[in-house]
Amino acid sequence: MTVSSAPGKVYLFGEHAVVYGEPAVPCAIERRATVAVEPRDDDHVRVEAEDLTLDGFTVEYSGDANDRPDVDVPTPLVDAAMGYIDAAVEQARDALGAPDAGFDVVVESDIPLGAGLGSSAAVVVAAIDAATRSLGRELDPREIAERAYRAEYEVQDGQASRADTFCSAMGGAVRVEGDDCRTLDAPNLPLVVGFDGGAGDTGALVAGVRALKERYDFAARTVGSIGDVVRAGERLLADADPTEEPDEVLLSELGRLMDFNHGLLEALGVSSRSLDNMVWAARMADAHGAKLTGAGGGGCIVALDPTEETETALRFTPGCEDAFRAELADEGVRAEDDRAARRREDEGES
């Protein structure tokens, strides 16, 4: 089988505001979705998903959106997972010029679904790469990012931004503002993630911010203020030496901006008690800054702390189910079958 993986992400700054053309700075992290693909002789797609924080399921269908078998998983969960995989398969078919191509697809992921860590983007990016490579075409990461964005845009009814998919395809830290997507030379920031075990409803949260923005001028200004925070953070990163460990001054300034960003998101109604509890636990543990990451409503927070204190504090925070250090993922989408072959060769030489 042809196997690809792609990383998840955290937002250093800018979620929600990026939907309205403001800039955002997400960072890829070493939590990955892995997709294995085998071409079929017919036009069917068979999907096996064991650990998308669902109960696990296998689905085979002919590609008709209404053609879904009965499976022992709640329909909304199947649809949530299958919608992104459907869209990724259609993008792969389009890139290959093979509208009737069929695939066996196996999805594995260590990124919690819907928790603000970019699980859907990682699955879509890895699936497009694996499906196209399985039939002999290797796409440039930027083309994968563009096609993955189209897939998410379709599934999310036009409310997706390019941030998640571009970050997952390219790796590292990136800067996205509308259609302008670029990589950033950022230092290896000491990121700590807290997870409350839940997931927000991205569509409802985005719609809620939109309604506030359309009704109140001050809500629109709040969205603009998030963009100002992002630009200030981007200037700090631009002045930093990416080959050096970030110093206390840089971490303190970035952390202060993260705190501002969380407050603005909280004002827009996208935080939650569990997220706020984790943010305050991180701050009380002397993290340089902390904020929710992703759509909000539940899921994850990200903090800046080079010590073990924040991770320890989060583990003892009511409502926090997991806490872990998130290493920056320098690589975006990558071919895991090639890596496995190189490992075998290295082991044979030794």
55 is a domain residue? yes
Structural domain of 150: 2-184
Give yes or no: 100 in active site: no
Of 235 and 47, the structure prediction assigns the larger pLDDT to 235
What is the average per-residue pLDDT within 83-90? 89
Q: Which one of the listed residues 164, 196, 259, 305 is annotated catalytic?
A: 164
Claim to verify: residue 57 and residue 97 sit in the same structural domain: yes
76 is a domain residue? yes
Confidence of residue 75 (pLDDT cuts 50, 70, 90): very low
pLDDT of residue 112: 79
Tens of pLDDT, residues 317-342: 999 999 999 999 999 999 998 665 55
Claim to verify: residue 131 and residue 247 sit in the same structural domain: no
Claim to verify: residue 129 and residue 66 sit in the same structural domain: yes
- pTM value is 0.86
Confidence of residue 169 (pLDDT cuts 50, 70, 90): very high
242 is a domain residue? yes
Average pLDDT, the chain: 88
Claim to verify: residue 83 and residue 126 sit in the same structural domain: yes
331 is a domain residue? no
273 is a domain residue? yes
Of 27 and 61, the structure prediction assigns the larger pLDDT to 27
Residue 1 has pLDDT above 70, yes or no: yes
pLDDT of residue 71: 43
Claim to verify: residue 35 and residue 170 sit in the same structural domain: yes
234 is a domain residue? yes
Claim to verify: residue 164 and residue 16 sit in the same structural domain: yes
Claim to verify: residue 112 and residue 14 sit in the same structural domain: yes
Tens of pLDDT, residues 270-300: 999 999 999 999 999 999 999 999 989 999 9
pLDDT of residue 81: 62
- Domain count within the chain: 2
Domain harbouring 309, CATH code: 3.30.70.890
Claim to verify: residue 31 and residue 168 sit in the same structural domain: yes
Claim to verify: residue 108 and residue 216 sit in the same structural domain: no
Claim to verify: residue 42 and residue 179 sit in the same structural domain: yes
pLDDT of residue 149: 94
216 is a domain residue? yes
What is the average per-residue pLDDT within 165-188? 94
Task: Give the pair of three-digit tokens for residue 11.
Answer: 């937002």
pLDDT of residue 200: 80
244 is a domain residue? yes
Pairwise CA distance, residues 83 & 183, whole Å: 28
Tens of pLDDT, residues 101-153: 999 999 998 887 777 898 889 999 999 999 999 999 999 999 999 999 999 88
Claim to verify: residue 245 and residue 138 sit in the same structural domain: no
